[in-house]
């Protein structure tokens, strides 16, 4: 009876580890289907951006862009113009640098060093890609003779820098919030706020007459690819150099776990060490 009683904790620990492993793993066909779907989506997004870039390069201005801008600028809801200006405000210099610095500092202060570094890398990478494409396409911004332009900017128009900044930085912050924070109404509110920013920034750029609709569409396409690249690089570095940092469980009742396959291997080694120690004590 005593021996059976001593073995129970080890058996329970093994059962818990096996249940966690089953919860984290998916059948091979499901994993292959998701991988194919993910890669196919990326190829479609990249192809759509390439086609859109070619069209804009060969035809800088289209009647569709003008019509969309004029239609959006006809919106006369109370405080709508104020909302559009407020949505775009974080994307201008110098407040964009200040906002990035404050958010990165907060993340670093919580001990999430790799996350803070990656937030900087994500925004720097996205901005660099945006600048590169802008200089290659060299599309002029909307003119006041065609639509209502609230602020005249001297840089190129395609793709929208605001939209890519919001996707590359705030999108990455949203990814961190979704993966690192436990499900709660606070996390839901934060994700909803970030989603609204990313969605409304496109409307704001068109309404203010600083970008064409195709600029915004191109920024959403290219920004999505940049965000995926940042997330993949984050996961690659996390599983190799920053495994000591905790990651919140996907459900409040589940224990915290680390990202990557190494966590499962570590659990197996812990079980084996404890079982060997138990045998020696007997």
- pLDDT digit string, tens, across residues 193-213: 999 999 999 999 999 999 999
277: Cβ contacts below 8 Å, ≥ 6 apart = none
Half-sphere exposure of 282 (CA within 13 A, CB side): 12
Written as six digits, the tokens of 173 are 């912050």
How far is residue 16's CA from residue 22's CA, in Å, rounded to a whole number? 10
What predicted TM-score, i.e. pTM, was given to this entire model? 0.76
Note whether 208 and 82 are within 8 A (CB): no
Nearest Cα to Cα of residue 162 among 132, 195, 201, 197: 201
Give the pLDDT of residue 25: 58
Give the pLDDT of residue 26: 67
Can you give the three-state secondary structure of the chain, one letter per residue?
CHHHHHHHHHHHHHHHHHHHHHHHCCCHHHHHHHHHHHHHHHHHHHHHHHHHHHHHHHCCCCHHHHHHHHHHHCCCCCCHHHHHHHHHHHHCCCHHHHHHHHHHHHHHHCCCHHHHHHHHHHHHHHHHHHHHHHHHHCCCCCCCCCCCCCCCCCCCCCCCHHHHHHHHHHHHHHHHHHHHCCCCHHHHHHHHHHHHHHHHHHHHHHHCCCCCHHHHHHHHHHHHHHHHHHHHHHHHHHHHHCCCCCECCCCCCCCCECCCCHHHHHHHHHHHHHHHHHHHHC
Give the pLDDT of residue 95: 94
Residue ranges of the chain with per-residue pLDDT less than 70: 1-26, 241-282
Give the pLDDT of residue 62: 82
CB atoms within 10 A of CB 20: 17
For 145-202, what is each residue's pLDDT tens digit?
A: 889 898 888 889 999 999 999 999 999 999 999 999 888 999 999 999 999 999 999 9
Residue with tokens 């920024």: 219
Give the pLDDT of residue 96: 94
Residue with tokens 């984050």: 234
Q: How far is CA 126 from the centre of its chain?
A: 11
Give the pLDDT of residue 259: 39
């Amino acid at each position: 009876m005593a021996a059976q009683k001593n073995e129970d904790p080890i058996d329970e620990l093994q059962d818990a580890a096996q249940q966690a492993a089953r919860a984290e793993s998916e059948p091979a066909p499901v994993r292959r289907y998701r991988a194919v779907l993910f890669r196919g989506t990326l190829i479609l997004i990249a192809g759509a951006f390439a086609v859109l870039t070619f069209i804009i390069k060969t035809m800088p201005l289209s009647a569709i862009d003008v019509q969309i801008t004029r239609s959006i600028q006809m919106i006369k809801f109370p405080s709508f113009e104020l909302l559009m200006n407020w949505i775009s405000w974080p994307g201008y210099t110098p407040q964009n640098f200040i906002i990035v610095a404050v958010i990165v500092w907060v993340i670093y202060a919580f001990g999430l060093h790799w996350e803070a570094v990656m937030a900087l890398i994500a925004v720097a990478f996205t901005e660099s890609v945006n600048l590169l494409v802008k200089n290659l396409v060299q599309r002029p911004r909307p003119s006041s003779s065609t639509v209502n332009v609230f602020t005249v900017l001297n840089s190129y128009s395609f793709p929208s820098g605001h939209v890519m900044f919001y996707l590359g930085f705030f999108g990455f912050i949203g990814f961190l919030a979704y993966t690192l924070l436990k499900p709660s109404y606070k996390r839901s509110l934060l994700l909803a706020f970030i989603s609204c920013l990313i969605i409304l920034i496109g409307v704001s750029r068109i309404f203010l007459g600083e970008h064409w609709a195709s600029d915004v569409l191109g920024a959403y396409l290219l920004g999505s690819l940049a965000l995926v690249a940042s997330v993949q690089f984050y996961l690659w570095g996390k599983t190799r150099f920053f495994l000591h940092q905790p990651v919140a469980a996907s459900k409040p009742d589940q224990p915290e776990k680390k990202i990557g396959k190494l966590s499962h291997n570590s659990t197996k080694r812990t079980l084996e060490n404890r079982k060997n120690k138990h045998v020696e004590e007997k």
